[in-house]
Amino acid sequence: MARVPLTSKSTLSEIRERFDSDVERFSQFETGQSATIDAKLAMELTCKTAATATPDIQNILDIGCGAGNYTLQLLAETGGTANCDLCDLSAPMIHRAEERVSPKTSGTVNTVLGDFRELDLPNDHYDIILAAAVLHHLREPEDWKTSFAKLYRLLRPGGSLWIVDLVHHSIPAVQKLMWERYGDYLESLGGQDYRDKVFDYIEKEDSPRPLLWQIDLLRSSGFADVEILHKNSCFAAFGGVRPS
């Protein structure tokens, strides 16, 4: 499959428009996450790990929150008392997330519309940051570096960042194998047309990086303790804890 140059990938406005029109699907976990292999398992592992690795959870940040699935799962794991900042490019999506999350916590729920890289968020503040299916929209290596550095700064000492995302592979033969396996999975869900549709928007919109490349980036950003929770084909769940 030919790779679309980074300069020809979807703009933020184009990404926003696609998600603006897809709120209903993402409001249902079974449909919103269906294109992700092991979606339910990855979400449960990530949120259980976040709750276990991070004591005294008071403030949660969910970047690219979509309709709020990950925050809802984390609140279920932590008792529903945390303050939640929900960040997303899409206004319809973030409004739906607020509607769904607000009844599930006794804490405050704030919506923050925009690109997390440009938002004025408080440093040394969040106990947990969730980043599910969002960082693969980053482009150049320097963009990844500055984004991971910002996420590190936003965490309070002892806080943790947890990522679930599409990943690429450094070895071409491995990438080909994993992509074929992913194609088989998509075809089992909705046939060849569905597979082609997902592949087309991934090629146009996404620019994932290898899992181990991101693990190295976590470490170089300051995360001394990092973990890989799960990987299946082109999807992985992983994260790290900011030193206390």
Residue 75 lies in a domain: yes
pLDDT at 152 over 90: yes
- What distance, in Å, lies between the first and last C-alpha atoms of the chain? 44
- Could you tell me the pTM of the whole model? 0.92
Report d(CA 135, CA 17) in Å as an integer: 18
pLDDT at 53 over 90: yes
The pLDDT of residue 7 is 75
* Structure tokens belonging to residue 50: 């976040």
The pLDDT of residue 30 is 59
Residue 160 lies in a domain: yes
Read off the pLDDT of residues 189-230 as tens digits, 9 standing for 90 and up: 999 999 999 999 899 999 999 999 999 999 999 998 999 999
Residue 83 lies in a domain: yes
Read off the pLDDT of residues 115-132 as tens digits, 9 standing for 90 and up: 999 999 999 999 999 999
Beta bridge pairs of residue 60: 84, 128
Domain containing 123 — which CATH number?
3.40.50.150
pLDDT at 1 over 70: no
The pLDDT of residue 21 is 65
Residue 1 lies in a domain: no
Q: Domain limits at 167?
A: 6-241
The pLDDT of residue 31 is 52
* Structure tokens belonging to residue 58: 């008071």
pLDDT at 2 over 50: no
Residue 149 lies in a domain: yes
% pLDDT > 90, the chain = 84
* Average confidence (pLDDT) over 155-176: 97
The pLDDT of residue 128 is 98
* Average confidence (pLDDT) over 13-33: 68
pLDDT at 84 over 90: yes
Q: Where are the beta strands (DSSP E) in 125-215?
A: 126-132, 155-166
How many domains are there within the chain? 1
Number of H-type helices and E-type strands within the chain: 9, 7
Of 110, 132, 130, give the one whose Cα is nearest residue 53.
Answer: 130
